[in-house]
Amino acid sequence: MIEQLPIVNLLLLLLTALVIPLFKKKNFKFTLSLNFTVLLIVWVISVYLLYYVNTEGAFYYRFGNYHPMIGLELLIDPFSTLITFFIMTMVLLIFVYSTSDATDGIHQKEYDRYYILMFILLFSMYGIIYTNDLFNKYVFMEILSITTCSIISIKRKKQNYSAAFRYVMLNEIGSLSYLFGVALLYMVTGFTNIEMVGQSLETVWQTHPTNIVLAIGFMIVGIGLKAAIFPFHIWLPDAHASAPSSSSAILSAVVVKVYLMVFVKILFRVYGIDILSALNIPTMIMIIGAVGVIMGSFFAIAQNDVKRMLGYSSVAQIGYIVIGIGLASYLGLSVAIFHVFSHGMMKTVLFLSVGAVIYQRNTRLINAFEGVGYLMPITMGAFFIAALGMIGIPLTSGFISKFNLGLASFEGGSSPYIFILIASGILNAIYYLPIIIAAFLRDNPEKQTVLSKDKVPALMLAPIVIISIFIVGIGVFPNGLMTLIEYAVSTFEV
């Protein structure tokens, strides 16, 4: 019965997405509670799978019991269960937030469409991480790109439409160049299954290297476009500036990370470390990541719309993960996955707290944050913790990932990256501290200095507080998460 669980996960998400439109007549609370129970069930299954896989070992789920050369299969191993666990935890908390804040520009009757799209988005993320077939991954990436664009354009504002359109165009170029990479690999190996392609690439590397070089180039550009890695990040800030806060939280904390994990899966499972180092791709990736870290932070400083600034800071933090991947070492990969977790948590808290500020104060300009600390102590407290994490102050998970990244780059013999880490820490401080200073030290227009409770529904505050507790919790006791990550990274021969 255990090995049916992955399909149960996928089917539960899909069936809820199909069932929601039938409940139009029921009041909205019913659909929300139904959605929440389904998300909870899938979360419990994912946690159980994570436990089962780490104790019993990875297993395949073959459709129709066919040999992988013929049919499709899902690979359930420590890496995919860890990432799906991360996805579901984040989306569960963001879902709790979005139940009350969905009024952020979405019409009352649009709710059920928003949740249909969110469930299909979850279904496609699970599919991308589970599947072990290159073309199947492409189909799920397409579903993901349509759903992410539509949760941006669901808000009836003209900025949303143009931001969503630009996102669709760039995303589409990304997936088509990924597909071109798949076609080139198929041309030389005759398979689309990831492991079989990986094995036959070793022999084909001697006879037809140009095919593989072109395929690597197109795939890196394709997934780079979708994961908003620095030179291809143009769509991210606009998409974040206009999207509702819960969708921009999902977009930057979860969706971008899924593409980065696809990036890791393809680089280290399809191509393998020896082809990569023969073309010295890892050093190129590290350079791209480093440039992204610096340029992302520079752009973030120049913004005065908070959401756009958070978007640019996401681009910078993605640069960290890309540096981790580029190190192509055991420690480098585990730092990259750790930073997926820590950046996911911090970015969700930042976006949700900004959403709460918008919900209560209807403003999002940075210079309008004066004295908000008094009006909304809990939200701004969480924002403060997350901002400290982003800068990398000790006792937060951000510090752990920065420290390990420095260690990994030192070990990997590319120590100049430590200076980049320090420089980016300073740059982060430059654009996060003014907000905190304005919020807590300056007095607000209403001249109210006594701490008043946030006038924001409890359901919105709960996830913000829970995640900020986790930020500090993982910052202090990281080894629980580290062992899980060790299991996950051991599945790649790096």
Q: Which residue has the tokens 């620095």?
A: 230
Nearer to another protein among residue 127 and residue 311 (C-beta): 127
- Shortest Cβ distance from residue 192 to another protein (Å)? 8
3-class DSSP state of 99: helix
Nearest distance, CB of residue 68 and another protein, angstroms: 9
Least distance between another protein and beta carbon 54 (Å): 24
Which of residues 4 and 37 has its CB atom nearest to another protein in the complex? 4
User: Nearest 5°: CA angle at 223, between 221 and 224?
Assistant: 60
Question: Is there a contact between 75 and 126 (Cβ–Cβ < 8 Å)?
Answer: no
Task: Tally DSSP H helices, then E strands, for the chain.
Answer: 21, 2
Report the C-alpha gap between 103 and 155 in whole angstroms.
10
Residues 6+ apart with CB under 8 A from 321: 257, 260, 289, 336, 339, 340, 343
| Cα–Cα dist 357/355, whole Å | 5
Beta carbon of residue 183, minimum distance to another protein (angstroms, whole number): 5
N- to C-terminal Cα separation, the chain: 33
Q: Which two tokens stand for residue 302?
A: 């120049």
Least distance to another protein, CB of residue 156, Å: 4
Smallest gap from Cβ 369 to another protein, in A, equals 14
Judged by CB, which is closer to another protein: 36, or 113? 113
Name the residue nearer to another protein (CB basis): 135 or 298: 135
Query: Residue 127 belongs to what H/E stretch?
Result: helix 111-130
Of 34 and 273, CB closest to another protein: 34
Please give the helix or strand (H or E) that residue 74 lies within, else none. strand 73-76
- Which amino acid, one-letter code, is at 333? L
Between CA 372 and CA 365 the distance in angstroms is: 12
Residue among 106, 113, 101, 94 nearest 252 (CA) = 94
Cβ closest to another protein, residue 95 vs residue 399: 95
Choice between 107 and 442, CB closer to another protein: 107
DSSP codes of every residue in 192-258: -BHHHHHHHHHHHHHH-HHHHHHHHHHHHHHHHHHTT-GGG-THHHHHHHHS-HHHHHHIIIIIHHH
- Rounded to the nearest whole angstrom, what is the least distance from the CB of residue 354 to another protein in the complex? 10
CB of 130 to another protein, least distance (A): 10
The nearer residue to another protein, 131 or 404, going by C-beta atoms, is 131
Q: Between helices 28-56 and 5-19, what is the axis angle to 10°?
A: 170
Q: Least Å distance between CB 158 and another protein?
A: 4
Rounded least distance, CB 433 to another protein, Å: 23
Of 69 and 469, the one with the shorter C-beta distance to another protein is 69
Q: CA distances (Å), 337 to each of 404, 487, 488, in order?
A: 11, 12, 9
User: Quick one: 55 or 362, whose CB is closer to another protein?
Assistant: 362
